[in-house]
Amino acid sequence: MTLTGVEAGERAGNVGIDLDHISKRFGDHVVLDDVSLHVAPGTVTALIGPSGAGKSTFLRCINLLERPDSGTIRVAGHTIEPGKEIRSRDLAALRSTVGMVFQSFNLFPHMSVLDNISFPQQNVLKRTKSEANDRSMQLLERVGLPEKADQFPTRCSGGQQQRIAIARALALDPSIMLFDEPTSAIDPEIGLEVLAVMRELAAEGMTMIVVTHEMQFARDVSDTLVVMADCRIIERGNPREIMSEPTQARTRQFLRAVLER
């Protein structure tokens, strides 16, 4: 694959994403089948659909945690397409511009909360320990957890760990945030804390793609709703319109199953 665009350390302003004809296989198993999507700068796109639809893989292709087999990705000044290997500094530049939050937190259990947030800054942005710690404390204040700085992640609840993971992603000053079902591994009531932080980011104009089963968040916060099934996008548009009058039978089937539980 080749990647061209801004060098490490540069930051796009308010940037969008263009994904054209993305396909991905694992052996003989098709995971993404000719998927295209445009995400306008400063907007929130919610990605919903049944398990196995390819949503998480699609998200992971954007920052190259998975390498698409074909298609073109344009994100934050970078163009990614099949070809040569990517230089490590270009990959680091991409991933510092595109933050990602996973459903399983992925915090380092042997590091304090503060170090979890500071370490990537020192490693990727080359900030000093003092600079990184100052930024980390600002972000812990933002997500409402400054008192957790010296604790280890295992001493925090699931909702607190996910908010720490969001702070860690924000510490690299991304222009885009990707969320892969960030509330699926935590209690629904505690998940409201995480959703509140995400709502704040959306209100501030952060470009976001959110894979979610939180239908209220998808309807009320996202600008665009995208429905995936069978490794393809089957419907996209205004969230309220799709949820009230979906045009595809597969969308109706999925929404009925989710909303009537």
Global pTM value: 0.89
Q: Which structural domain, as residue segments, surrounds residue 160? A: 2-259
pLDDT of residue 10: 36
Axis-axis angle for helices 113-120, 158-170 (nearest 10) = 20
Query: How many structural domains are present in the chain?
Result: 1
**pLDDT value of position 21:** 95
Residue with tokens 């591994």: 185
The length of the chain is 261
The residues of the chain scoring below 70 in pLDDT are: 1-14, 83-84, 261
Burial code (b: 16+ CB inside 10 Å, e: under 16) for 123-147 equals ebbebeeeebbebbbebbebbebee
pLDDT value of residue 86 = 79
- pLDDT given at position 93: 81
CATH number of the CATH domain containing 45: 3.40.50.300
73 contacts 22 by C-beta, under 8 angstroms: yes
C-alpha span between 41 and 111 (Å, rounded): 35
pLDDT at 9: 34
User: Parallel, antiparallel, or unpaired for β 98-101 and 29-39?
Assistant: unpaired
d(CA 203, CA 129): 31
Query: Which DSSP letter does residue 153 get?
Result: G
Strands (E) across the chain are located at 2-4, 17-26, 29-39, 44-48, 70-75, 78-81, 98-101, 176-180, 207-211, 224-229, 232-237
pLDDT at 191: 86
Q: What is the pLDDT of residue 57?
A: 95
How far is it, in rounded angstroms, from Cα 144 to Cα 248?
41
CA distance 109 to 258: 34
pLDDT for residue 90: 80
CA distance 157 to 7: 37
Distance CA 237, CA 233 (A): 11
**What's the confidence (pLDDT) of residue 14?**
58
Coil/strand/helix, residue 22: strand
The whole-angstrom separation of Cα 136 and Cα 121 is 9
